[in-house]
Amino acid sequence: MQNPSTIFQRAEVLARLRAVMQREHIDAVVIPSADPHLSEYLPGRWKGREWLTGFTGSVGTFIATAGCAGVWTDARYWDQAETELAGSAVCLKKIPSGASLLYIDWLSANLQAGQTVAVDARVLGLATARLLAEALAVRKIELRTDVDLLDEVWSGRPALPTAPVFEHAAPYAVTARADKLAGVRAAMSKLGADRHVISTLDDIAWLFNLRGADVSYNPVFLAHALIAPDRATLFVGDAKVPADVAERLRLDGVDLAPYDSAEAALAQLGAENVLLVDPRRITAGMRALVPAGVTVIEAINPSSFAKSKKSDAEAAHVRATMEHDGAALCEFFAWLEVRLADKRGGPLTELDIDTHVCAARARRPGFVSPSFGTIAGFNANGAIMHYRATETSHAVIEGDGLLLIDSGGQYVGGTTDITRVVPVGTPSSAQKRDVTLVLKGVIALSSAQFPRGTKSPMLDALARAPIWAGAIDYGHGTGHGVGYFLNVHEGPQSISATTMPEPHTAMEPGMITSIEPGIYRPGRWGIRIENLVLNRSAETTEFGEFLRFETLTLCPIDSRCLDVSLLRPDEIKWLNDYHALVRARLAPHVDGAARAWLDERTREL
């Protein structure tokens, strides 16, 4: 719950917002969790929903009318939102998934013909804008996209970030940017386009072999790009690109232009141009700038496909990175076990977990930053799917139960994301049953073989089946794509029951995806086990090419949390084989207490 003074301040801001709405004859304002690049994690300037409400989750849409203010968010954030919004004038509106647009239905049902909805087109996805406009038009409700009401009420709104851009250099940048640009141009030509605008930051960072620090946890920088047949223009903040990098870009056919000139460049396209845009990866505001005479082709960004399929050389770097990440975790977990047993150090809190796991990774070569904010939830806090301990709200880790730790790192050779559950004291039989069911889900999906091109959402049920057998389910997707020293969440693949199995979600060799089923019992405990896996060719038969998963993550799964009697012989073999692999790969990188911990936790069942 927010403290009283903060609640009062936010109530004042909401009142000012409503006053501006009344002056502008606006009946509802929509503030999505987005920026002009449709990012998941946002620079401070576009954290308007968080600033207005106090809800810090990465997904959520804020709507205010004269009599109602709410945040629409999915099951991953319900407990968090209820806690962070408690006592305020903003209510939680529950939706089944992050992809849901139920707030559009709410607007249609709660506004009257002739009323007006306002949303800033510069942060509204084109595909979403079309759905919103269509739904409101049916009800004869006007949609305004030309206003940013936040600027009216947000005093001290953060400026654009100024962190410098740097190159992702060889040997880790395996493919030269000139070759990547050539690949994108080939895809453009195949579609009949001679221009292509890109706004998504991870696509831009990948395409130009550049990285930055404008967004927490993701090594990206604010920019737009316009690709032409012979040259490309990168629209980026002044002085963010060092002179030597700018010169190498120029030699590769890349010109730099001010960040805020991207809009004018689109507006200057001629009727002879054919522009490729991805409606799910560009804002309505950017699309509106394209002159009416320009032919527009809509298709997924070619770079989204290309960056999802890691090359053999990139996969080799990721494997090496996983060894360093796993070694760091051995050091961390060895420390944790000693700390849990030794009470002389004073209370151990969830905050200590974040401090020590980040410090262990920081000692490893190639480490740059965490890949997301560490989730360390003890017992009831583990049931909050995207829980984040804070100085004012965290648990002491003592007594009996389960500690869920979800963490990851950004390394120059890859991005990691791992979840493990460890025992504190003596876990109950019910807790062990739940952990074992989740492990069975991990094993079921990790062991799958499937035709190349299988739509990734179709694989979701394989991980859920052992959990469903216990009449249990979980409210998030089973797996997300992971970048290569890029965003910890990327597409186009998504192993999720709420994702439509469209052609662009097909599984292809080289994709890295998480497998992370879970069980969450609100107010009691939460369990999630997560590994990253690589799509690899398995065999080719008369029925086509089949893929399998190679498990990349290297860290023991704590057998003290398991009810081994619930595991089949083949499942026990899977766990023993995995632990043998972990031990063999990590042993050369650890010694002392970390090596002793590794040997103990990888003992054969």
Quick one: DSSP state of residue 345? G
CA distances (Å), origin 572, targets 272, 440, 565, 567: 63, 10, 10, 6
* Cα gap 357→330, rounded to integer Å: 10
CB 306 within 8 A of CB 396: no
What is the spatial distance between Cα 376 and Cα 373, in angstroms, rounded to a whole number?
A: 10
Same domain, 293 and 326: no
Return the amino acid letter for 530.
E
Domain limit, last residue, from 263, 281, 301: 301
Residue 100 has pLDDT above 80, yes or no: no
- For residue 106, the model assigns a pLDDT of 93
pLDDT value, residue 202? 97
Same domain, 324 and 206: no
C-beta separation of 24 from 147 below 8 A: yes
Q: What is the structure's pLDDT at 142?
A: 96
pLDDT digits (tens, 9 = 90+) for 336-394: 999 999 877 789 999 999 999 999 999 999 999 999 999 999 999 999 888 888 888 89
pLDDT-wise least confident of 146-155, 284-293, 299-308, 445-454: 146-155
Percent pLDDT > 70 in the chain is: 98
Local confidence band at 76 (pLDDT 50, 70, 90 cut-offs): confident
116-156 pLDDT tens trace: 999 999 999 999 999 999 999 999 999 999 999 998 899 89
Per-residue confidence at 97, pLDDT binned at 50, 70, 90? Answer: low
Whole-angstrom Cα distance, residue 310 to residue 314? Answer: 6
Given 129, 153, 177, the domain boundary residue is 153
Give the integer Cα–Cα distance in Å for 259 and 256.
9
Sorting pLDDT into bands at 50, 70 and 90, what band is 87? confident
Closest listed residue to residue 492, CA positions, set 509, 479, 506: 506
Examine the domain organization and report whether 192 and 245 are in the same domain.
Answer: yes
Assess if residue 159 is contained within a domain: no
The Cα–Cα gap between 79 and 387 comes to: 9
Asked whether residue 71 is assigned to any structural domain, the reply reads: yes
Q: Residue 266 contacts by C-beta under 8 Å, 6 or more apart in sequence? A: 197, 226, 286, 289, 290
Query: Based on the domain organization, do 280 and 313 belong to the same domain?
Result: no
231: domain CATH number?
Answer: 3.40.350.10
Buried b / exposed e across 428-465, counting CB within 10 Å, b at 16+? eeebbbbbbbbbbbbbbbbebebebebbbbbbbebbbe
Same domain, 343 and 483: yes
Give backbone dihedrals phi and psi of 586, rounded to 5 degrees, phi first. -95, -25
Q: 337: which 2 tokens?
A: 């076990």
d(CA 389, CA 506): 36
- pLDDT classification of 7: cutoffs 50, 70, 90: low
- DSSP 3-state of 485: coil
β-strands 449-451, 274-277: how paired? unpaired
Count, residues in the chain: 605
- 109 and 214 co-located in one domain: no
* Structural domain contains residue 160: no
CA separation, residue 527 to residues 128, 176, 308, 524 (Å): 33, 41, 28, 11
Cβ partners under 8 Å of residue 300, min gap 6: 278, 280, 281, 492, 504
Domain count, the chain: 3
**Rounded-to-integer distance, Cα 53 and Cα 288, Å:** 30
Distances (CA, A) of 417 to 178, 193, 515, 552: 30, 37, 10, 10
Cβ pair 530, 438 in contact under 8 A: no
**DSSP code at position 135:** H
pLDDT at 98 over 60: no
Q: Are residues 316 and 294 in the same domain?
A: no
Work out the average pLDDT over 268-292.
Answer: 97
Tell me if 457 is assigned to some domain: yes
Domain range for residue 23? 4-153
DSSP string, 54-67: ----SS-EEEEESS
Question: Is the CB of residue 71 less than 8 Å from the CB of residue 59?
Answer: no
Are residues 289 and 362 both part of a single domain?
Answer: no
pLDDT in tens, 431-461: 999 999 999 999 999 999 999 999 999 999 9
Give the mean pLDDT of 190-219.
Answer: 97
In the listed set 123, 153, 183, which residue is the last one of a domain according to the structure? 153
How distant, in Å, are the alpha carbons of 227, 239, 312, 353 from that of 122? 21, 24, 38, 38
pLDDT at 225 over 70: yes
Same domain, 585 and 536: yes
Burial of 129 (0-12, 13-18, 19+ CB in 10 A): buried
The CA-based angle 419-383-469, given to 5 degrees, is 80
Separation of alpha carbons 89 and 101, rounded Å: 22
- What confidence tier does 205 reach under pLDDT thresholds 50, 70, 90? very high
- Please tell me the pTM assigned to this model: 0.93
Strand runs (DSSP E) across 59-141, as ranges? 61-65, 69-73, 91-94, 116-118
Three-point CA angle 331, 552, 388, nearest 5°: 60
Task: Give the mean model confidence (pLDDT) for residues 552-569.
Answer: 98
Question: Does residue 3 carry a pLDDT above 60?
Answer: no
Residue type, 62: F
Structure tokens at 534: 């690589």
Instruction: Please answer whether residues 173 and 313 qualify as being in contact, where contact means their C-beta atoms are separated by less than 8 angstroms.
Output: no
- Segment 409-429 shows an average pLDDT of 98
